[in-house]
Structure 1
Amino acid sequence: MPLFDHLSVSVNDVPRAIARFDPIFTALGLDRTDARDGASWYKDGETEFIVRLAREPGAHRHGAVGWQHLALAVASREDVERLHAIATEAGWAVVRDPKPYPRFSDRYFASFVEDDNGIRVEFVYNPEPTDQETVRTV
Protein backbone atom coordinates (compact mmCIF):
# COMPACT_ATOMS: atom_id res chain seq x y z
CA MET A 1 0.00 0.00 0.00
CA PRO A 2 1.40 3.46 -0.88
CA LEU A 3 2.17 5.94 1.90
CA PHE A 4 -0.15 8.51 0.31
CA ASP A 5 -3.41 7.63 -1.40
CA HIS A 6 -3.57 10.95 -3.22
CA LEU A 7 -2.44 14.56 -3.17
CA SER A 8 -4.70 17.31 -4.46
CA VAL A 9 -3.85 20.93 -5.26
CA SER A 10 -6.06 23.83 -6.24
CA VAL A 11 -5.17 25.93 -9.29
CA ASN A 12 -6.52 29.05 -10.99
CA ASP A 13 -6.51 27.61 -14.50
CA VAL A 14 -7.01 23.86 -14.98
CA PRO A 15 -5.99 23.66 -18.67
CA ARG A 16 -2.80 25.60 -17.93
CA ALA A 17 -2.05 23.37 -14.91
CA ILE A 18 -2.57 20.26 -17.05
CA ALA A 19 -0.20 21.68 -19.67
CA ARG A 20 2.43 22.18 -16.96
CA PHE A 21 2.02 18.99 -14.91
CA ASP A 22 1.33 16.55 -17.73
CA PRO A 23 4.80 16.61 -19.33
CA ILE A 24 6.39 15.96 -15.92
CA PHE A 25 4.08 13.16 -14.85
CA THR A 26 4.06 11.59 -18.31
CA ALA A 27 7.88 11.51 -18.20
CA LEU A 28 7.59 9.75 -14.82
CA GLY A 29 5.29 7.10 -16.30
CA LEU A 30 1.95 8.27 -14.89
CA ASP A 31 -1.34 8.13 -16.78
CA ARG A 32 -3.79 11.06 -16.81
CA THR A 33 -7.56 11.07 -16.45
CA ASP A 34 -9.46 14.30 -17.09
CA ALA A 35 -12.56 15.40 -15.18
CA ARG A 36 -14.95 18.31 -15.56
CA ASP A 37 -13.10 20.53 -13.05
CA GLY A 38 -9.62 19.00 -12.97
CA ALA A 39 -7.35 16.11 -13.84
CA SER A 40 -5.66 13.20 -12.05
CA TRP A 41 -2.43 11.32 -12.70
CA TYR A 42 -1.98 7.70 -11.60
CA LYS A 43 0.87 5.24 -11.39
CA ASP A 44 -0.11 1.56 -11.47
CA GLY A 45 -3.67 2.54 -10.54
CA GLU A 46 -2.57 3.67 -7.08
CA THR A 47 -0.79 6.89 -6.17
CA GLU A 48 -2.80 9.82 -7.43
CA PHE A 49 -1.99 13.49 -7.97
CA ILE A 50 -4.98 15.76 -8.61
CA VAL A 51 -5.37 19.33 -9.83
CA ARG A 52 -8.72 21.03 -9.34
CA LEU A 53 -10.10 24.47 -9.97
CA ALA A 54 -9.66 26.69 -6.91
CA ARG A 55 -12.81 27.90 -5.17
CA GLU A 56 -11.17 31.31 -4.66
CA PRO A 57 -8.68 32.98 -7.02
CA GLY A 58 -5.15 33.76 -5.96
CA ALA A 59 -1.75 32.17 -5.67
CA HIS A 60 0.00 30.38 -2.87
CA ARG A 61 3.11 32.06 -1.52
CA HIS A 62 6.06 29.78 -0.82
CA GLY A 63 6.83 29.82 2.89
CA ALA A 64 3.26 30.66 3.92
CA VAL A 65 1.26 28.21 5.99
CA GLY A 66 0.20 25.32 3.78
CA TRP A 67 1.87 23.78 0.76
CA GLN A 68 5.68 23.90 0.86
CA HIS A 69 6.76 21.74 -2.07
CA LEU A 70 6.43 18.28 -3.57
CA ALA A 71 9.73 16.39 -3.94
CA LEU A 72 9.63 13.84 -6.76
CA ALA A 73 12.29 11.15 -6.32
CA VAL A 74 14.10 10.13 -9.49
CA ALA A 75 16.71 7.48 -10.32
CA SER A 76 19.70 9.64 -11.32
CA ARG A 77 21.21 13.10 -11.57
CA GLU A 78 20.50 12.91 -15.29
CA ASP A 79 16.81 12.39 -14.51
CA VAL A 80 16.84 15.53 -12.33
CA GLU A 81 18.32 17.49 -15.22
CA ARG A 82 15.93 15.92 -17.77
CA LEU A 83 12.79 16.62 -15.71
CA HIS A 84 14.00 20.12 -14.90
CA ALA A 85 14.31 20.78 -18.66
CA ILE A 86 10.87 19.25 -19.33
CA ALA A 87 9.30 21.44 -16.62
CA THR A 88 10.89 24.66 -17.81
CA GLU A 89 9.86 23.90 -21.39
CA ALA A 90 6.29 23.46 -20.08
CA GLY A 91 6.35 26.94 -18.50
CA TRP A 92 7.56 26.32 -14.94
CA ALA A 93 9.76 29.06 -13.49
CA VAL A 94 13.21 28.04 -12.27
CA VAL A 95 13.66 28.47 -8.53
CA ARG A 96 16.97 26.58 -8.33
CA ASP A 97 18.83 24.94 -11.20
CA PRO A 98 20.02 21.32 -10.78
CA LYS A 99 22.88 21.15 -8.28
CA PRO A 100 24.24 19.18 -5.31
CA TYR A 101 22.91 19.96 -1.82
CA PRO A 102 25.70 18.81 0.51
CA ARG A 103 23.92 20.34 3.51
CA PHE A 104 21.47 17.41 3.22
CA SER A 105 23.97 14.72 2.17
CA ASP A 106 26.90 14.24 -0.17
CA ARG A 107 24.54 12.33 -2.51
CA TYR A 108 21.66 14.85 -2.63
CA PHE A 109 21.17 16.41 -6.10
CA ALA A 110 18.05 18.42 -6.88
CA SER A 111 16.35 21.26 -8.72
CA PHE A 112 13.26 23.32 -7.92
CA VAL A 113 10.60 24.80 -10.19
CA GLU A 114 7.42 26.75 -9.48
CA ASP A 115 4.25 27.43 -11.47
CA ASP A 116 2.15 30.60 -11.60
CA ASN A 117 -0.07 29.27 -8.77
CA GLY A 118 2.94 29.23 -6.42
CA ILE A 119 3.11 25.43 -6.50
CA ARG A 120 6.72 24.32 -6.10
CA VAL A 121 8.12 20.98 -7.24
CA GLU A 122 11.53 19.52 -6.49
CA PHE A 123 13.18 16.84 -8.60
CA VAL A 124 15.54 14.94 -6.32
CA TYR A 125 18.10 12.18 -6.65
CA ASN A 126 19.03 10.99 -3.17
CA PRO A 127 20.37 7.42 -3.23
CA GLU A 128 20.70 5.32 -0.10
CA PRO A 129 23.86 5.99 1.92
CA THR A 130 26.70 3.54 1.91
CA ASP A 131 27.84 1.95 5.16
CA GLN A 132 30.61 4.55 5.49
CA GLU A 133 28.33 7.58 5.13
CA THR A 134 26.25 9.23 7.78
CA VAL A 135 22.97 10.93 6.99
CA ARG A 136 22.54 14.60 7.93
CA THR A 137 19.19 15.76 9.19
CA VAL A 138 17.37 18.63 7.53
Structure 2
Amino acid sequence: MAILDHLGITVDSVPRASAQFNPVMEALGYIRSHDADDCAYWRQSGQPEVLLYPARADGTEPHEHGRVGWQHLAFAVDSRDEVDRLHAVALEAGWVAVREPKEYPRFTERYYASFVEDDNGIRLEFMHNPAGWD
Protein backbone atom coordinates (compact mmCIF):
# COMPACT_ATOMS: atom_id res chain seq x y z
CA MET A 1 0.00 0.00 0.00
CA ALA A 2 1.34 3.41 -0.96
CA ILE A 3 1.10 6.32 1.47
CA LEU A 4 1.53 10.00 0.65
CA ASP A 5 4.86 10.96 2.23
CA HIS A 6 5.33 14.61 1.30
CA LEU A 7 4.03 17.40 -0.85
CA GLY A 8 6.49 19.74 -2.59
CA ILE A 9 5.23 23.13 -3.69
CA THR A 10 7.11 25.48 -6.02
CA VAL A 11 6.94 29.14 -5.04
CA ASP A 12 8.38 32.40 -6.33
CA SER A 13 10.18 33.25 -3.06
CA VAL A 14 10.65 30.65 -0.33
CA PRO A 15 11.15 33.24 2.45
CA ARG A 16 8.01 35.17 1.48
CA ALA A 17 5.92 32.02 1.03
CA SER A 18 7.27 30.58 4.27
CA ALA A 19 6.12 33.70 6.12
CA GLN A 20 2.59 33.09 4.79
CA PHE A 21 2.61 29.32 5.28
CA ASN A 22 4.14 29.17 8.75
CA PRO A 23 1.23 30.58 10.82
CA VAL A 24 -1.21 28.29 8.98
CA MET A 25 0.97 25.19 9.28
CA GLU A 26 1.59 25.84 12.99
CA ALA A 27 -2.15 26.34 13.54
CA LEU A 28 -2.65 22.93 11.90
CA GLY A 29 -0.17 21.36 14.35
CA TYR A 30 2.85 21.17 12.02
CA ILE A 31 6.34 22.13 13.16
CA ARG A 32 8.69 24.05 10.87
CA SER A 33 11.74 21.81 10.60
CA HIS A 34 13.76 23.78 8.07
CA ASP A 35 13.66 27.35 6.83
CA ALA A 36 16.15 28.70 4.29
CA ASP A 37 16.12 30.62 1.01
CA ASP A 38 16.22 27.37 -0.98
CA CYS A 39 13.75 25.23 0.98
CA ALA A 40 11.32 25.32 3.88
CA TYR A 41 9.35 22.43 5.29
CA TRP A 42 6.95 21.43 8.05
CA ARG A 43 6.38 18.09 9.74
CA GLN A 44 3.65 16.55 11.84
CA SER A 45 3.75 13.01 13.15
CA GLY A 46 1.78 10.66 10.92
CA GLN A 47 1.12 13.34 8.28
CA PRO A 48 2.84 14.10 4.96
CA GLU A 49 5.56 16.74 5.08
CA VAL A 50 4.84 20.01 3.31
CA LEU A 51 7.85 21.49 1.50
CA LEU A 52 8.42 24.77 -0.33
CA TYR A 53 10.96 25.03 -3.15
CA PRO A 54 11.97 28.05 -5.25
CA ALA A 55 10.90 28.31 -8.87
CA ARG A 56 13.69 27.30 -11.25
CA ALA A 57 12.94 30.05 -13.76
CA ASP A 58 12.77 33.79 -13.05
CA GLY A 59 9.65 35.68 -13.98
CA THR A 60 7.23 32.79 -13.67
CA GLU A 61 3.70 33.82 -12.84
CA PRO A 62 1.71 32.67 -9.82
CA HIS A 63 -0.29 29.52 -10.40
CA GLU A 64 -3.75 30.20 -11.76
CA HIS A 65 -6.54 28.09 -10.28
CA GLY A 66 -8.27 26.00 -12.92
CA ARG A 67 -5.21 25.56 -15.13
CA VAL A 68 -3.46 22.21 -15.50
CA GLY A 69 -1.56 21.34 -12.33
CA TRP A 70 -2.26 22.22 -8.74
CA GLN A 71 -5.94 22.46 -7.73
CA HIS A 72 -5.97 22.71 -3.94
CA LEU A 73 -4.89 20.94 -0.76
CA ALA A 74 -7.63 20.22 1.77
CA PHE A 75 -7.05 19.85 5.50
CA ALA A 76 -9.79 17.99 7.40
CA VAL A 77 -10.31 19.44 10.89
CA ASP A 78 -12.38 18.50 13.91
CA SER A 79 -15.04 21.22 13.93
CA ARG A 80 -16.65 24.14 12.17
CA ASP A 81 -15.06 26.41 14.76
CA GLU A 82 -11.67 25.06 13.69
CA VAL A 83 -12.46 25.87 10.04
CA ASP A 84 -13.34 29.42 11.11
CA ARG A 85 -10.18 29.73 13.25
CA LEU A 86 -7.85 28.48 10.52
CA HIS A 87 -9.50 30.75 7.97
CA ALA A 88 -8.85 33.74 10.26
CA VAL A 89 -5.21 32.66 10.86
CA ALA A 90 -4.64 32.43 7.11
CA LEU A 91 -6.14 35.87 6.45
CA GLU A 92 -3.99 37.37 9.20
CA ALA A 93 -0.92 35.79 7.54
CA GLY A 94 -1.73 37.46 4.20
CA TRP A 95 -3.73 34.74 2.44
CA VAL A 96 -6.76 35.91 0.46
CA ALA A 97 -10.23 34.48 1.03
CA VAL A 98 -11.46 32.66 -2.06
CA ARG A 99 -14.57 31.39 -0.29
CA GLU A 100 -15.56 32.33 3.24
CA PRO A 101 -16.49 29.48 5.61
CA LYS A 102 -19.85 28.00 4.62
CA GLU A 103 -21.79 24.78 4.11
CA TYR A 104 -21.38 22.76 0.90
CA PRO A 105 -24.50 20.55 0.72
CA ARG A 106 -23.56 19.48 -2.83
CA PHE A 107 -20.79 17.38 -1.21
CA THR A 108 -22.67 16.20 1.92
CA GLU A 109 -25.23 17.74 4.26
CA ARG A 110 -22.48 18.16 6.87
CA TYR A 111 -19.66 19.55 4.70
CA TYR A 112 -18.40 22.93 5.96
CA ALA A 113 -15.32 24.56 4.47
CA SER A 114 -13.38 27.66 3.52
CA PHE A 115 -10.80 28.29 0.78
CA VAL A 116 -7.80 30.63 0.86
CA GLU A 117 -5.05 31.44 -1.62
CA ASP A 118 -1.52 32.79 -1.12
CA ASP A 119 0.62 35.12 -3.27
CA ASN A 120 1.74 32.16 -5.41
CA GLY A 121 -1.81 31.09 -6.26
CA ILE A 122 -1.55 28.11 -3.90
CA ARG A 123 -5.04 27.27 -2.66
CA LEU A 124 -5.84 25.59 0.66
CA GLU A 125 -9.15 24.32 1.94
CA PHE A 126 -10.03 23.89 5.60
CA MET A 127 -12.93 21.49 5.87
CA HIS A 128 -15.08 19.69 8.42
CA ASN A 129 -17.17 16.74 7.28
CA PRO A 130 -18.19 14.60 10.25
CA ALA A 131 -18.80 10.94 9.40
CA GLY A 132 -17.11 11.31 6.01
CA TRP A 133 -18.74 11.02 2.64
CA ASP A 134 -21.81 8.93 3.45
TM-score (norm 1): 0.88
* Aligned-residue CA RMSD (Å): 1.8
Gaps of 5+ in 1: none
Q: Alignment identity in percent? A: 56
Instruction: Say which of 118, 121, 125 aligns to 2:124.
Output: 121
Would you say the 8 A contact 1:73–1:124 is kept in 2?
yes
User: Any idea what the Cα deviations from partners look like across 1:19-53, whole Å, max 9, x if unmatched?
Assistant: 11111110111111224501010012752000111
Would you say the 8 A contact 1:2–1:46 is kept in 2?
no
TM-score (norm 2): 0.91
Quickly say closer, same or farther: Cα 1:124–1:2, change in 2 above 3 A.
farther
* Number of matched pairs: 131
1:22 aligns with 2:34: no
**Alignment correspondent of 1:72:** 75
**Alignment correspondent of 1:48:** 49
- Following TM superposition, the consecutive aligned residue runs of length 4 or more in structure 1 with deviations greater than 3 angstroms are none
**Alignment correspondent of 1:96:** 99
Kindly state the Cα deviation for residue 3 of structure 1 after the two structures are TM-superposed. 2.8
Would you say the 8 A contact 2:6–2:51 is kept in 1?
yes
1:8 aligns with 2:11: no
Paired amino acid for 2:113? A
- Distance of 2:47 and 2:111 partners within structure 1: 27
